[in-house]
Amino acid sequence: MKENDVFFHPRGETLFVDDLGDFSGLLHAAVLVSPLAHGRILELDTAAAARQPGVAGVFSARDIPGENQIGGIIADEPLLADGEVHFAGQPVAVAVAGTPRQARRALAAVRMEIEELPAVLDPRQAAAQGLLIAPPRTFVLGDVDRALAKCPVVVAGRVESGGQEHLYLEPQAAVAIPGEKDTLRVISATQSPSGVQRAIARVLGMPMSRVAVEVFRLGGAFGGKEDQATPWAALAALAARALRRPVKLALERREDMRFTGKRHPYSSDFRIGLDDAGKIQAFEVTYYQNAGAAADLSTSILERTLFHATNSYHVPNVRATGYSCRTHLPPFTAFRGFGAPQAMFVIESALFQAAEKMGLDPARLQELNLLSEGDEFPYGQRAKACRAQRCFAEAVSSFGLREARERVRRYNDDNVLSKKGLTLMPVCFGISFTSTFLNQAGALVHAYADGSVAVSTGAVEMGQGVNGKILLVAGRTLGIAQNRLRMDSTCTRRVANTSPTAASTGADLNGKAVELACMELRRRLLQVAAGKLDAAPEELDIRADFVRRSGARTELGWEELVRTAYLQRVSLSSQVHYATPGIHFDRAKEKGEPFAYHVYGAALVEATVDGLRGTAAIDSVQAVHDNGTSINPLVDRGQVEGAIVQGIGWVTLEELLYSEKGTLLTDTLSTYKVPDIRTAPERIEVRFLADAANPAAILNSKAVGEPPLMYGIGAYFALLAALRALRPGKALPFSAPLTHEKILTWLTEE
């Protein structure tokens, strides 16, 4: 426990990147960005800036020795603008000086003239102009047109969802330290150490082997550091290598909010067809994803949107099409849920409207259409160990849906100006990176001669408790106490070619790799023990720090065992690679089995709207969550609760506003509202599904990071139900976030 970040955070003893300063000759960098969303650079003169007090150097695109390119999936993103600027906040130059203030002051002396060009901000407008990041993709199951033609009930509509600022506590930051023989060590606040390493090698024109990227921990990330920690690390590396001095680049909060990408806004069209009983027969959907000015991870995110088009439901006929649209906004990026929340918001909106049209309770429609064992998803995979119905039924029964409904009905009868709404929100989320190749991980475990053990993986600790989980796996596999174990930093020199800690797979992938590495170490040690105890290795086991023989404790303890192995020249280091078995996906056919398994759940959400003021409260969220057999139930509870609040923030509070010219207006916490202790639901209750072992993941657990965020979407529909009670006939809005301002407007307009 004393090893855990939880122990150090509240004492203020944890070091984040910006706290590191113990490098002799450390310089500080500040970034000059484009003030315009689109334009042609007519002049860029850094000479005067370079002469400012304390300045060691000023760098622009022409100073890049390698390729001016950091695009990970598609090579469409320069590190520093060259010739044109494509979004407000795009880095153009970087100044390096003795203090952060000197560096920022120097930027004011850069002469930059940009001729403004028209900016496209709307994804549909971009699509109409052919401004796409990649060709559109379509997932097809059955025959939508034929099925729709036969449906007695068809509802069509448009659904909008906004972006979301990550608001990790630690803004983007990196320190680059030049080493001997043209090497670099970079300490980066990234979810993707190998991604940063690859980008730096490319930009500086040097082999990856000369660049070591190390991560200690992140003060939060939520996807915002999967791809977008890279430019800041690369800029620090560029300057550090040129100046042969350590360089730190740490964004201030407002810079971070203006310069970096957020969750993708989507605009979508749907048609849903149902039979008279309420069974969905067909669902057609087109997503227009606002990708921003560069691809970043947009194509992968759009792919995950398509995978989650039908959420927890079985729909026999589906056509889902996605356009990734290039606009002049900062490149939107990964954010917890990775495109799935946008998809689920659309189908839930469709079901809500269908239920209204049919005069049915939306929960009835949801329940009727839940996935069953063996049902086919539009991408070809079939639901296995499907728990959609179990979670839904348990939510209905254990949270007393019938009584809650009765209570809400009575409340609404008794109150004229205040109304309540109640909804259920089922979730089905696929676990694995949708890019199959990313589903791999490495681990390195050293037992030192004194019996202490150090574990290295590619996992990045960002407050989600992944390191604690991995050490539990190591301790259980080796049969030793937790206090013998230590988690080392994440470093590309110890574990190479790491996938980002993302897609909720950090503990799954790295935990498996560590389990395999520890099993190998254990196998070697039991061999040594067998020799020493004159026993067969199969009779032996290690538990609670001692070798056991047929279950009985022997005199041979862990420390002696390790020392003996060392003296016998047996390797005490184990390096292992793990790749998720059985997954594949064919992008030509858009069919395959991309996910190792799915996470299921259902939440009951209650909200109250004040019909006079337009204010609203999300009163309670109660979830039944399929968590497998949790490795750490306390950590997982925290993940579910935090995700719920973050999801509620996305659909009810957090509104990104841009000027007509594409500059961010909501770039401070006074204008961009996130959930706080007053807006979070008074009551959050999380029940983990019992008897829910998951053989597809480490120690029968399930990934937990992203899926519960989507329970928060239920808050939107609970608000709609309350609005419906306030104004029965009026068309409801399907445009998230449903802020108090929007509610008031809806209540008061004709």
Q: Which residues are part of the catalytic machinery?
A: 706
307: contact with ligand LUZ by CB under 6 A: no
CA-CA distance, 313 to 418, in Å (whole number)?
Answer: 33
Total residues contacting ligand LUZ (rule CB under 6 A)? 13
Output the smallest distance, CB 434 to ligand LUZ, in A.
4
**In the complex with ligand LUZ, which residue's Cβ is closer, 309 or 503?**
503
Other C-beta atoms within 10 Å of 4: how many?
16
CA-CA distance, 378 to 181, in Å (whole number)?
Answer: 53
CA-CA distance, 603 to 394, in Å (whole number)?
Answer: 10
In the numeric block, which tokens belong to residue 569?
Answer: 């020249």
CA dihedral of 521, 522, 525, 530, whole degrees rounded to 10 = -150
Beta-bridge partner residues of 445: 455, 574
493: contact with ligand MOS by CB under 6 A: yes
Pick from ligand MOS, ligand LUZ, none: which does 446 bind, CB < 5 to 8 A by kind? none
Site map 208..237 versus ligand LUZ, x via CB under 6 A: ---------------x--x-----------
401: contact with ligand LUZ by CB under 6 A: no
81: contact with ligand LUZ by CB under 6 A: no
Which window, 417-425, 434-442, 553-561, 567-575, contacts ligand LUZ (CB under 6 A)? 434-442
| Out of 338, 429, 688, 734, the residue judged to bind ligand LUZ by CB under 6 A | 338
| Out of 160, 170, 214, 606, the residue judged to bind ligand MOS by CB under 6 A | 214
3-state SS, 654-704, equals CCCCECCCCCECCCCCCCCCCCCCCCCCCEEEEEECCCCCCCCCHHHECCC
Query: Are residues 314 and 245 in contact, defined by beta-carbon separation less than 8 angstroms?
Result: no
**In the complex with ligand LUZ, which residue's Cβ is closer, 226 or 610?**
226
N residues, the chain: 750
| Out of 300, 608, 627, 739, the residue judged to bind ligand LUZ by CB under 6 A | 300
Pick from ligand MOS, ligand LUZ, none: which does 494 bind, CB < 5 to 8 A by kind? ligand MOS
List phi, psi (to 5°) of 746: -65, -40
Contacts of ligand MOS in 81-120 (CB under 6 A): none
**In the complex with ligand MOS, which residue's Cβ is closer, 185 or 702?**
185
Tell me the CA distances in angstroms from 75 to 57, 177, 296, 327, one per residue in order: 28, 27, 9, 16
Pick from ligand LUZ, ligand MOS, none: which does 183 bind, CB < 5 to 8 A by kind? none
Output the smallest distance, CB 494 to ligand MOS, in A.
5
Contacts of ligand LUZ in 437-466 (CB under 6 A): 438
304: contact with ligand LUZ by CB under 6 A: yes
List phi, psi (to 5°) of 333: -145, -170
| Out of 112, 121, 203, 334, the residue judged to bind ligand LUZ by CB under 6 A | 334
Output the smallest distance, CB 643 to ligand LUZ, in A.
13
Contacts of ligand LUZ in 630-649 (CB under 6 A): none
Question: Containing H/E element for 357?
Answer: helix 340-358
Question: Containing H/E element for 10?
Answer: none
718: contact with ligand MOS by CB under 6 A: no
Output the smallest distance, CB 247 to ligand MOS, in A.
17
Output the smallest distance, CB 706 to ligand LUZ, in A.
6
Nearest CA to 436 out of 627, 603, 596 is that of 596
119: contact with ligand LUZ by CB under 6 A: no
Query: Are residues 528 and 542 in contact, defined by beta-carbon separation less than 8 angstroms?
Result: no
Query: Are residues 52 and 97 in contact, defined by beta-carbon separation less than 8 angstroms?
Result: yes
Nearest CA to 141 out of 477, 589, 677, 600 is that of 589
- State the first-to-last Cα distance of the chain, in angstroms, to the nearest integer: 59
Output the smallest distance, CB 336 to ligand LUZ, in A.
7
Q: What is the CA radius of gyration of the chain?
A: 27
**In the complex with ligand LUZ, which residue's Cβ is closer, 451 or 594?**
594
Pick from ligand LUZ, ligand MOS, none: which does 502 bind, CB < 5 to 8 A by kind? ligand LUZ
Output the smallest distance, CB 185 to ligand MOS, in A.
6
**In the complex with ligand LUZ, which residue's Cβ is closer, 86 or 225?**
225
In the numeric block, which tokens belong to residue 216?
Answer: 């200690």
Contacts of ligand MOS in 146-185 (CB under 6 A): 185
Query: Are residues 524 and 533 in contact, defined by beta-carbon separation less than 8 angstroms?
Result: no
Pick from ligand MOS, ligand LUZ, none: which does 300 bind, CB < 5 to 8 A by kind? ligand LUZ
CA-CA distance, 614 to 472, in Å (whole number)?
Answer: 48
Which window, 30-38, 150-158, 257-265, 487-495, contacts ligand MOS (CB under 6 A)? 487-495
Output the smallest distance, CB 226 to ligand LUZ, in A.
6
Nearest CA to 623 out of 504, 721, 712 is that of 712
| Out of 174, 212, 329, 736, the residue judged to bind ligand MOS by CB under 6 A | 212
Tell me the CA distances in angstroms from 80 to 234, 467, 623, 677, 721, one per residue in order: 10, 35, 46, 40, 48
Output the smallest distance, CB 300 to ligand LUZ, in A.
5
CA-CA distance, 544 to 446, in Å (whole number)?
Answer: 19
Output the smallest distance, CB 629 to ligand MOS, in A.
33
**In the complex with ligand LUZ, which residue's Cβ is closer, 177 or 710?**
710
Nearest CA to 422 out of 361, 477, 470, 376 is that of 361
Pick from ligand LUZ, ligand MOS, none: which does 491 bind, CB < 5 to 8 A by kind? ligand MOS
DSSP per-residue string spanning 623-646:
EEE--BS-S-HHHHHHHHHHHHHH
In the numeric block, which tokens belong to residue 81?
Answer: 């603008």
Pick from ligand MOS, ligand LUZ, none: which does 212 bind, CB < 5 to 8 A by kind? ligand MOS
Query: Are residues 67 and 202 in contact, defined by beta-carbon separation less than 8 angstroms?
Result: yes
491: contact with ligand MOS by CB under 6 A: yes
| Out of 270, 288, 433, 600, the residue judged to bind ligand LUZ by CB under 6 A | 433
**In the complex with ligand MOS, which residue's Cβ is closer, 106 or 212?**
212
The contact set with ligand MOS (CB under 6 A) reads 185, 212, 214, 491, 493-494
The contact set with ligand LUZ (CB under 6 A) reads 223, 226, 297, 300, 304, 334, 338, 433-435, 438, 502-503
